[in-house]
């Protein structure tokens, strides 16, 4: 797969693990518990796409208001207010997201079409759904969950739009979703976890699955810095003692 067919995350160490990036048009499940860094990683993915690769992004947030999220992101070096003002990075406001929830309850395929229409209207090549767990909770039926994720992937792929689907999971459990079907439909799985070492909590990242490419499955130490996400091999010298 050539570099033109890969969506670079903009997180250098992660792109190296992936052999260059995520295959364009993939739907990737990003699984982690509260505080594991899911929102920051996805936000950096969106902003790096706009600033470094001229790829517009859409962030659909079902968990908190747009203003609160942006306030928290302004502390990071990857945040670019101009990209937001110019529409290169578009946050779907929670009020609009609630309307999407209502659509979902009436007809899951309507939500898929609405997301795809937003992506087309914005000319986006990257989209984040935060979180797919919230969507699945509204569906509460494994067949509908499977159909929603499958249809979303089928609709986004021809647009070369790469999707990160945030999955909220219990802490320190080797599971990737609440309902157990999301990971089988997704093209990739990135698992965020942590462990304790002498009173320190060490965050980790592992690419569990990524269709279409060879990739490392080694766990990486993940640090959240002012500049964004930093990864390094899980070696004793990289772990606080």
What are the structure tokens assigned to 63, written together?
């968990």
pLDDT for 223? 96
Q: pLDDT band at residue 95, thresholds of 50, 70 and 90?
A: low
Establish whether the linkage from the previous residue to 179 is cis, with ω within 30° of 0: no
Eight-class DSSP state of 102: H
Residue 219 lies in a domain: no
240: pLDDT strictly greater than 90: no
Q: Tell me what pLDDT residue 102 has.
A: 67
Locus of tokens 């969106």:
46
What are the pLDDT digits (tens) for 126-135? 999 998 888 8
Domain range enclosing 127 = 23-190
Q: Is residue 221 part of a domain?
A: no
- pLDDT of the residue at 5: 92
Please tell me whether the overall predicted TM-score, pTM, comes out greater than 0.85 for this model: yes
Cα distances (Å, whole numbers) of residue 239 to 35, 171, 198, 207: 19, 20, 10, 20
Q: Is residue 56 part of a domain?
A: yes
Of 75, 19, 86, the residue nearest 50 (C-alpha): 86
Residues of the chain with pLDDT > 70: what percent?
90
% of residues, the chain, pLDDT over 90: 65
Residue, of 201 and 190, whose pLDDT is higher: 190
Q: How confident is the model at residue 238 (pLDDT cuts 50, 70, 90)?
A: low
The pLDDT assigned to 139 comes to 79
Which pLDDT does position 166 carry in this prediction? Answer: 95
How large is the average pLDDT for residues 176-190? Answer: 91
Beta-bridge mates of residue 197 = 200
The CA dihedral of 48, 50, 52, 53, to the nearest 10 degrees, is 120
3-state secondary structure of 232: strand
CATH number for 166: 3.40.50.300
Torsional class of 19: left (φ above 0), alpha (ψ -120 to 50), beta (otherwise): left
Residue 130 included in any domain? yes
Mean pLDDT of 170-180: 87
pLDDT for position 67: 87
* Three-class secondary structure of residue 147 per DSSP: helix
Q: Is residue 27's pLDDT more than 80?
A: yes
Task: Confirm whether 128 is domain-assigned.
Answer: yes
Which class for 219: exposed (0-12), middle (13-18), buried (19 or more C-beta within 10 A)? middle
Report which of residues 113 and 155 the model is more confident about. Answer: 155
User: Does 149 score more than 80 pLDDT?
Assistant: yes
- Classify residue 197: in a domain, yes or no: no
Mean pLDDT on 14-20: 97
Q: What's the total number of domains in the chain?
A: 1
Q: Is residue 125 part of a domain?
A: yes
Q: What is the residue whose two structure tokens read 């002012």?
A: 226
Say if 47 falls within a structural domain: yes
Mean pLDDT of all residues belonging to the chain:
90
* 13-27, 29-43, 136-150: range with lowest mean pLDDT: 136-150
């Amino acid at each position: 797969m050539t570099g033109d067919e890969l969506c670079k995350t903009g997180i250098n160490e992660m792109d190296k693990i992936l052999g260059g990036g995520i295959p364009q048009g993939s739907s990737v499940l990003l699984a982690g518990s509260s505080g594991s860094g899911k929102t920051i990683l996805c936000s950096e993915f969106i902003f790096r796409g706009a600033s470094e690769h001229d790829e517009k992004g859409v962030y659909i947030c079902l968990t908190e208001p747009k203003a609160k999220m942006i306030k928290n992101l302004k502390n990071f070096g990857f945040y670019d207010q101009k990209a937001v003002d110019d529409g290169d990075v578009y946050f779907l406001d929670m009020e609009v997201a609630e309307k999407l929830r209502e659509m979902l309850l009436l007809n899951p395929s309507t939500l898929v079409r609405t997301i795809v229409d937003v992506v087309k209207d914005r000319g986006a090549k990257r989209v984040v759904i935060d979180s797919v767990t919230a969507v699945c909770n509204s569906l509460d039926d494994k067949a509908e969950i499977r159909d929603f994720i499958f249809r979303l992937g089928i609709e986004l792929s021809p647009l070369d739009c790469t999707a990160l689907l945030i999955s909220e999971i219990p802490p320190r459990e080797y599971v990737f979703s609440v309902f157990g079907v999301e990971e089988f439909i997704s093209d990739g799985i990135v698992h965020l976890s942590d462990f304790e070492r002498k009173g320190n909590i060490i965050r980790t990242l592992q690419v569990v699955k990524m269709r279409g490419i060879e990739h490392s499955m080694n766990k990486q130490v993940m640090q959240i810095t002012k500049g964004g996400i930093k990864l390094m091999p899980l070696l004793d010298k990289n772990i606080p003692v």
